[in-house]
Amino acid sequence: MPTFTMNGQDIPFEKGDTIMRAAWRAGIEIPHYCWHPGLSVAANCRMCLVHIKTGRQGAMPIMKFDAKSGEYVPDTKPKLWPACQMGAQEGMDVTSESDDVKKAQASVQEFLLLNHPVDCPICDQAGECKLQDYWLEHQNSMKRKQTEPVHKPKGVKFGPTIVYDAERCIMCTRCIRVCDELVGDPVLDMRERGNRNEIVLSPGRELDHDYTLMTEHVCPVGALTSQDFRFKARVWFLKSAPGVCTGCATGCNTHVDYDPRYGKVYRLRPRDNMDVNKFWMCDDGMMTYREVHEDRVNVATLGRGDDRQAVLFEDAVDEAVEQLRRRDKSKVAVVLSAKASCEDNFALAKLAQVFGSEHVYLAANSGWEGDEILRSEDNNPNRAGAEKAYALAKGGLVEELDDLVSDSLGGDIEAVITLGAVSADIDLSALEKIDTVISLTSNDGALPRAASIVLPTTSWAETHGTFINKDGLTQTFKRAIHPAAGIKPAWEVLRELATALGHELDFESLKQLRASFAPPPMAPAQQSAQA
Amino acid sequence: MTVTVKVLKKPKRTLADQVYVPAIASGVKLTLTRFFKNTFTSRDHEANEIATVMYPEEPRTYPPRFRGIHRLTHRADSSPRCVACLCCSTACPAQCIHIEPAEYEKDDPRYGYERYPATFVIDELRCIFCGYCVEACPCDAIRMDTGLHMPPSTERSHFIYDKEMLMSLPGQDRTFLSANPRHEPGDPSHPGIDREKGH
């Protein structure tokens, strides 16, 4: 692999790489605003200027006076080039630390802050803002401009999800390029020039495609803010756990940002994974964090309809065990869930095995609109994993919820154990004819509503788990927040049920359970490319 | 590493030190002087040198930079200057400040632009009165210049100060304003927030 030298370090590069991309791949950061690894090169922020000493045509040789030795030494004319646009060449000698480069970086930084309102206290980007970081690293001087800054539109609603502040904008055009290149919907553009420059919408349009939050995600400053996250939390309080999006079968990798003080998840951010989502996520996926706090089932309940009453978790488990003991185990139906993790599905499949039950079904969401970019038409994060568990329990053609409804009308089923909550639009009133319907779920939904015994379980943010995406890629996610007191993952509850019924499931820990579907070791959480 | 040792000489005692009588005499003189002075002069401790203050009937005047109970300063339209940036609660070593930010209403000139504290609660029992919140505040919105210390109470809830309570306390100059007026969005001195007014 050819290499060039940067700041005395050899950096390998591939054909077609720019200096910036090669350095990024090697884990070296050249300060930049407009460059993003997933977008085209704009080279308009001028923050990434570097000095290419030798190895480039046109690097004009000069004799430079060296004050230390008092002699003239050979050098090249200090013409600076944008590293994001300059292709890497074999044998280049690049420096991003010389005095010329430092002066250029400080000047660009001062220029970008010339009309900036410096309203960091009310800006949601504060704490993860590149203007703040680079001011400290590369400028660190007071503003010299004494006059009133130019005022531009603030608080402009670009659409249902994004608010724009032109005063904070540095015109890097990343958001425009996201719309053009990632989504193919050129809804944003730029108007005016110089200090009147601002981002505008196409006439008669709103920023309303499926990836609007990516414009906010790539914004290096606080110009674009998310209507959802706006004013909710300060980012320096948030911690991050590696997650996997539960929106669809693509399984985009996420950072789950949560506040450990309140045990609350505030947002998702895409986590770079070149094999799955690259740098991106869709809006619906970004909003799946709401499942962790909305429509949660936090208490165990017994009974149906108006007779439903909250009971202690242990009492509900005892009641479930008592009822199951009276049933014919081979007539206990289990319903796996394409929304639940592999751990929960395999635990339930193993329970069906020890029961000797042939009635195994798979509940799944009924799908949504997919696209060519990331969104899969299957809006279940773990259909592949649930089908694997299905094959373990029964095998053959997968039977779905409507099969369960027809089978239960046939009277062949005495009890049902269901996992998770799905938004399937099927009439489940047939299930209410069955006396024992146990639902293990984190969220409310059609299945828990039809159940006679509801046992609360952890949501995906409150436990470790594994999803298998549509391409068969096994991905694990880690716990972000702690569940409410006494709430356990479904696989633990199932194991308790089995033990109380006198059966033994062949696992005691998460590690042993995972051996049945063998996820690969978790890759260390990568920092997002934007940071 | 060498250790340098400095030998100190034991101080020698004179005869006067040895017999104690002169020291006792000077002590008795000081005691009697204070006794007669405190007995026969006025108790106006600001006019003369009497150090004793008949607390709590007679509170001592605190120095101007005394860090007392917090207050939230007002804007000219008596809305809070606070923008709920959470810098104070970030800086607070006792974690006694709880703020919930909110957005201004739709018809407010600051709508879409600024935020304000929907709730602002200080647990004065937890507070260690270090003044870091005042230092951290970028808007001069929180101050400790009320000149008051915490009034005692046997009820814990009396020490939980909410936004209304904090905004009802004036500074030592008996006004609610901050000494550092700024032109903020929504103020008449601010050039405006839309393109027409802005240029």
A134 versus A146: which is more confidently predicted?
A: A134
Half-sphere CA count of A512, side-chain side, radius 13 A: 10
Taking the Cβ of residue B86 and every Cβ of chain A, the question of whether any pair is shorter than 8 Å is answered with yes
Q: Please tell me the distance from the alpha carbon of residue A186 to that of residue A82, in angstroms, as a whole number.
A: 26
Pairing of strands A436-441, A453-456: parallel
Average of per-residue pLDDT across A389-413: 86
Taking the Cβ of residue A163 and every Cβ of chain B, the question of whether any pair is shorter than 8 Å is answered with yes
Res A519: pLDDT:
57
Residue A369 has pLDDT above 60, yes or no: yes
C-alpha distance from A481 to closest chain B C-alpha (Å): 21
Residue A53 has pLDDT above 50, yes or no: yes
Res A284: pLDDT:
95
Average of per-residue pLDDT across B74-102: 91
The pLDDT tens digits for A420-467 are: 888 767 888 888 889 999 999 999 988 999 999 999 999 999 999 999
Res A347: pLDDT:
95
Q: Please tell me the distance from the alpha carbon of residue A420 to that of residue A406, in angstroms, as a whole number.
A: 21
**A440, β-bridge pairs:** A419, A455
Task: Give the three-class secondary structure for B164.
Answer: helix
Q: Please tell me the distance from the alpha carbon of residue A68 to that of residue A514, in angstroms, as a whole number.
A: 65
Does the domain spanning A130-292 belong to CATH 3.30.70.20? yes
Res A143: pLDDT:
85
Res B48: pLDDT:
60
The pLDDT tens digits for A203-216 are: 999 999 999 999 99
Residue A363 has pLDDT above 60, yes or no: yes
pTM flag (> 0.90): no
Residue B190 has pLDDT above 70, yes or no: no
Res A530: pLDDT:
44
The pLDDT tens digits for A260-315 are: 999 999 999 999 999 999 999 999 999 999 999 999 999 999 999 888 999 999 99
Instruction: Check whether the bond before B170 is cis (ω within 30° of 0).
Output: no
Spell out the domain ranges in chain A. 3-100, 130-292, 300-514
The pLDDT tens digits for A61-78 are: 889 898 999 999 988 888
A122, A196, A259, best to mutate vs chain B, most B CBs in 10 Å = A122
Question: What is the phi/psi pair of residue B91, to 5°?
Answer: -75, -25
Q: Give A169-172 contacts, CB < 8 A, sequence gap 24+.
A: A169/A197, A169/A198, A169/A199, A169/A221, A169/A223, A170/A33, A170/A45, A170/A112, A170/A116, A170/A131, A170/A220, A170/A221, A170/A223, A171/A44, A171/A197, A171/A199, A172/A33, A172/A34, A172/A42, A172/A44, A172/A45, A172/A220
Residue A527 has pLDDT above 90, yes or no: no
Pairing of strands A436-441, A415-419: parallel
Closest CA to A432 of A296, A306, A344: A306
Taking the Cβ of residue A120 and every Cβ of chain B, the question of whether any pair is shorter than 8 Å is answered with yes
**If you average pLDDT over every residue of chain A, what do you get?**
91
Q: Which helix (H) or strand (E) holds A476?
A: strand A474-477
Res A525: pLDDT:
47
Does the domain spanning B71-167 belong to CATH 3.30.70.3270? yes
Per-residue tokens: A49: 């200027």
The pLDDT tens digits for A135-158 are: 999 998 888 888 878 888 888 899
C-alpha distance from B188 to closest chain A C-alpha (Å): 15
Question: What is the phi/psi pair of residue A61, to 5°?
Answer: -75, 135
DSSP state of A296: B
What is the topology classification, in CATH, of domain A300-514? Rossmann fold (3.40.50)
| Length of chain A measured in residues | 531
Res A531: pLDDT:
40
Q: Which helix (H) or strand (E) holds B35?
A: helix B21-40
Q: Please tell me the distance from the alpha carbon of residue B185 to that of residue B110, in angstroms, as a whole number.
A: 6
Chain A residues in contact with B198 (beta carbon < 8 A): 150-153
Spell out the domain ranges in chain B. 15-61, 71-167
Q: Please tell me the distance from the alpha carbon of residue A368 to that of residue A365, in angstroms, as a whole number.
A: 9
Q: Does the beta-carbon distance from A154 to B185 stay under 8 Å?
A: yes
Q: What is the CATH number of domain A3-100?
A: 3.10.20.740
Band of residue B198 on the pLDDT scale cut at 50, 70, 90: very low
The pLDDT tens digits for B20-63 are: 999 999 999 999 998 888 788 776 656 666 777 778 887 777 88
* pLDDT above 90 as % of chain A: 71
Q: Does the beta-carbon distance from B112 to A153 stay under 8 Å?
A: no
Contact A261, A516 (CB under 8 A): no
Q: Please tell me the distance from the alpha carbon of residue A387 to that of residue A15, in angstroms, as a whole number.
A: 42
